[in-house]
Amino acid sequence: MSTFALISDLHANLEAVDAVFARIDQLGVREVACLGDVVGYGADPLPVTLRVMQRCAWTILGNHDWGLFHELDDFNPLAREALLYTRAQLRPSFLRPRRRAAWEFLRTLPERREAHGFLFCHGSPRDPVMEYVLKSDGFLEPDKMAQLFGMLDRPCFVGHTHWPGVHRPDYRFSQATDEQREFKIDGPCIVNVGSVGQPRDGDPRASFAVVHDDRVEIHRVPYDFRRTQAKILAAGLHPALAERLARGK
């Protein structure tokens, strides 16, 4: 029996990350892995990256992590502005040698991973860093879903949309809620673990997953988002990035 936790889309939110790691420890789950977007949007990229380096067995690349080292033309203005802030916080220098390990860690993350008989990426199986698998794709984009499922012979875990739930081979999306937060995963499916640091499903609590062989549980953890909001504002980041944390949008 193998049990492990999956976190994704931390977005430099230290309070959410600490709350989630504390809950994972309480649950007695030792192995944790990260599906990317360690940084971006939030005020604490360095401490969050150092926490991930220490606690996670492995981490894969998210689009915001990628954006640290590439042109930002395809990012929306808020994401771009936050990535420029993140670069300034993380770029190593002689005066700030502690940043070097975090910078190199993010720069060399892999795009996908196989472990425990499952597949893992940030976005989608065919475009692991950038493509969204949206909850509406089942009825709006059936050809896309057919292609994605054509590539899968087993469950694939993703993040990226910040909406926790499971896409089934019939393209139905079952959203994770307090009433239904446990799902069987015994064949091809796409499991979204939600976001630790910037949930967008209307629930402000941090989201993460615990996998036990053939089932996954989505957990939600409250954290002190007012403290995170104050740090975002103090850092000079856009107020919308603070405000959305209270609404989970």
Binding site residues, Zn ion, CB under 5 A: 9, 37
What is the DSSP code (8-state) at residue 241?
H
Closer by beta carbon to Zn ion, 9 or else 201: 9
Report the nearest approach of Zn ion to the CB of residue 24 (Å): 20
Amino acid sitting at position 177: T
Closest approach of Zn ion to the CB of residue 62, in Å:
6
- Which C-beta is closer to Zn ion: that of 37 or that of 137? 37
- Give the nearer residue to Zn ion in terms of CB position, either 149 or 157: 157
CB of 160 to Zn ion, least distance (A): 6
User: Tokens 């990226």 identify what position?
Assistant: 160
Residue 56 makes CB contacts below 8 A (sequence gap 6+) with 7, 32, 33, 34
What is the spatial distance between Cα 39 and Cα 25, in angstroms, rounded to a whole number? 22
Distance separating the N- and C-terminal Cα atoms of the chain: 36
Nearer to Zn ion, 133 or 149 (CB): 133
| Cα–Cα distance measured from residue 30 to residue 59, given in angstroms and rounded to the nearest whole number | 15
Smallest gap, in angstroms, from Cβ of residue 170 to Zn ion? 27
If we measure between CA atoms, which residue out of 184, 187, 219, 182 comes closest to residue 203? 219
Can you say whether residue 184 is alpha, beta or left, with left for phi > 0 and alpha for psi between -120 and 50 degrees? beta
Burial class (CB in 10 A: 0-12, 13-18, 19+), 236: exposed
Dihedral class, residue 202 (left if φ above 0, else alpha if ψ from -120 to 50, else beta): left
| Least distance from Zn ion to the Cβ atom of residue 196, Å | 10
Considering the complex, state which of residue 123 and residue 125 has its C-beta at the smaller distance from Zn ion: 123
CB of 68 to Zn ion, least distance (A): 13
Task: Please give the single-letter amino acid code of residue 123.
Answer: G
Report the residue number, 188 or 244, with the smaller CB distance to Zn ion.
244
Of the pair 15, 37, the CB lying nearest Zn ion is at 37
Minimum distance from CB of 198 to Zn ion (Å)?
7
Instruction: Answer whether 20's CB lies under 8 Å from 203's CB.
Output: no
